[in-house]
């Protein structure tokens, strides 16, 4: 019972996390030693948040062929046609883009939306606008990854830096094979991920829906089901 409770609270950390946690803990110790008590308590709260930000929980990913899962935890903020980043060489035609906004309280580990082979990785420096804005896709610092799926169709996932994000981490390169839900990077601290679906594939999520990285199904490449509608209740 106690072990189960602890495992539900204490999660593994992404490898990027321990150094930031150590810095936060050291500063907190100094605050408790040399500053007013309230400052130490504030430092402790920040230290807990740093651990929480870099958490990397295990996820149960659906494995049926053709499913496209969310690459990030967060809210589906936009679904609209858009042209993929030019550096991916996916052509000038607009594809359905699903945008997922991650707040600073969401898990920021990014996962592959679908199994495939990486054909291109395109990093572009840029601004640090609010990642919830539509123009963030063009103006912000971003890292785009193109995948060739088993049936030959392309799919793209784009990491976009946000208002306070200052580093995009991507651990894959052209030629790498990814499994659905496999970790491929993260962004710190607060950001957005875009998924460009293959031509003709309809989204199975709606704007405002919460998504869980590696678990929430965004689309099904093997179905002709129409895009879904929904309402807040």
Nearest to 106 by CA among 228, 219, 216: 216
Contact 180, 113 (CB under 8 A): yes
CA distance 74 to 131: 12
Mean pLDDT of the chain: 86
E-state strands within 34-82: 67-69, 74-82
Each residue's pLDDT tens digit, 37-90 = 998 899 999 888 888 778 888 899 998 989 999 999 999 999 999 999 989 999
Q: 81 forms bridges with which residues in the sheet?
A: 96
Active site residues: 191
- Measured CA to CA, the distance from residue 40 to residue 52 in angstroms comes to 18
Question: What pLDDT sits at residue 161?
Answer: 83
pTM above 0.95, yes or no: no
Kindly report, residue by residue over 156-183, the tens digit of the pLDDT.
Answer: 999 998 665 557 889 999 999 999 999 9
Closest CA to 156 of 226, 207, 86: 86
pLDDT digits (tens, 9 = 90+) for 189-199: 668 899 999 99
């Amino acid at each position: 019972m106690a072990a189960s409770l602890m495992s539900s609270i204490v999660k593994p950390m992404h490898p990027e996390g321990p150094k930031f946690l150590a810095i936060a803990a050291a500063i907190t110790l100094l605050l408790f030693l040399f500053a007013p008590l309230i400052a130490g308590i504030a430092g402790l709260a920040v230290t807990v948040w740093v651990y929480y930000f870099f958490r990397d929980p295990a996820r149960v990913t659906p494995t049926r062929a053709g499913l496209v899962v969310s690459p990030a935890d967060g809210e589906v903020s936009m679904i609209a046609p858009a042209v993929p980043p030019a550096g991916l060489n996916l052509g000038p035609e607009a594809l359905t883009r699903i945008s997922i906004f991650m707040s600073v309280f969401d898990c920021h580990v990014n996962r592959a939306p679908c199994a495939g082979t990486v054909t291109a990785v395109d990093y572009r420096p840029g601004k640090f606008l609010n990642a919830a804005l539509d123009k963030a896709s063009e103006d912000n610092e971003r890292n785009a990854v193109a995948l060739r799926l088993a049936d030959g169709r392309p799919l793209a996932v784009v990491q976009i830096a946000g208002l306070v994000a200052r580093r995009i981490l991507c651990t894959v390169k052209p030629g790498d094979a990814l499994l659905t839900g496999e970790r491929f990077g993260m962004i710190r601290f607060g950001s957005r991920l875009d998924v460009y679906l293959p031509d003709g594939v309809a989204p199975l999520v709606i704007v405002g829906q919460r998504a869980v990285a590696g678990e929430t199904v965004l689309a099904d490449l093997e179905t002709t089901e129409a895009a879904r509608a929904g309402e807040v209740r």
